[in-house]
Structure 1
């Protein structure tokens, strides 16, 4: 059965008027990895010049799905760019994740001493009127000393998340911090696995790196206060070892940082991209994906969506383009 795609846009909590909604040629939502803003692009038909250029700062919401089914909320966005082009005359509206436009991106200087990751995240969330959603294990991580020097709160959280094997995102007035590649929500719940079976209409590409040509381990230095000297920890196998810059305050922090980097390297060893002719707007970044009908070495891997692009077209239906990374190590 052929489904009818649906895309609904609202501006400042009000549905678009009929003049604008009838002129939508395409809508593209790009769901990026946590440390990047999600993006919304809308192309409007302005063949008769009847449309006015939209104002920057307008808050947009996008729902995507199919007629007769529940629509999927793809997020809130703030208009930051408009473009008028021709011929044929068209207006393109570009917007980014709403909370990425707040003062969370302003540089500041501050220090945190003997605080947990959760305490730092809670303070930042409260300062920016965000609701913190963070796994208990990440909240409990103790950090010896953190200096924030001419650095935004957003960048600080991204830095701390990366050092501790986590991802962070700001979406729909929530600060989300969760374990990278875990296929879980920030609250710790399992995300539903979506199975993709090979279809003739879908284009795909699989690639893998030669394990021998990449780093086999990651090392990190830390200050051993008892011995008054620098020590080193290694995660992974000795051989071609990548050394992290800087000196960590203690062994525990160095071990977490090296383990996080090693996990990141393993996730990047295998990549899979696919264009779905029949869109799945329910897929977002971190969604666990199961592949079926491809080569056995591809099907056996556990996959995580690192980027999802959903495109609604007045003439071409609803499609989805996915970039996946392997959750587990190649054998």
Structure 2
């Protein structure tokens, strides 16, 4: 990368990657496709169990659904009957909220009479959401710091922006990690009838249900990676700007030293009685011109090709030689 455009390329990459990263994480945070939960209803219907026949048209667990950080939605044709628990989300899908028991945050941190693993699940999933909130806070501060650094061409501001973006990517990554841990606990650790997680379901429903990640999950990871890349871009651009400013200062110092030397020389020559020793003064009379006589005239000598007997004043005053002829004169 050229030194001239190093900071330009770095800032361009930082701006693009940071905006893309924040946008992707924001999209993932607000959408409900983190997890796809599929249910084999044909398998359940073939079992011909009375409990299944009672719940297959009303229980939410018996329908294909998608899950996000805050909602469980039913975007497919088959969905449960509309009741007070379901509402339309911004994209016109029927959803229900994931209950994090946030209403009790002003009192006990956890619901009463739950198992230890269930309490850990609450801590993990809440920490995941808190990690993403910290991500948006840090990226907001980093954007302001980055704009100030670009406007002032300040390497210190850009390094601060790089650190903030790195911390943002770290908190985003921690949010993703805690979401994974919460999912692991939900599927394999928590067996609490009060929460109705996977391990409390009937065996036939567990066999008929399969989980897979959705596009929101992938978009979130891509956004975190872009945020980390923007941190590296900001760091490289800050180093480039520092290098460029150092080079500019070096050139200014050299120019200042050169001007100082010239001024000192001028003052010395002025003190010695004039500028003749500094600038080449014109001679008091033209120097002798050893020219070949190519012309005949009143000043020509038939026996000689020299102008030894002709004065310089005669040569210049009578216009015997033109400038080109003076240049082309032969010794």
Same fold (TM over 0.5): no
TM (norm. structure 1) is 0.23
TM (norm. structure 2) is 0.23
Which one has more relative contact order, counting CA pairs under 8 Å at least 6 apart? 2
- Greater share of residues in helix: 2
- Greater share of residues in strand: 1
| Bigger CA radius of gyration | 2
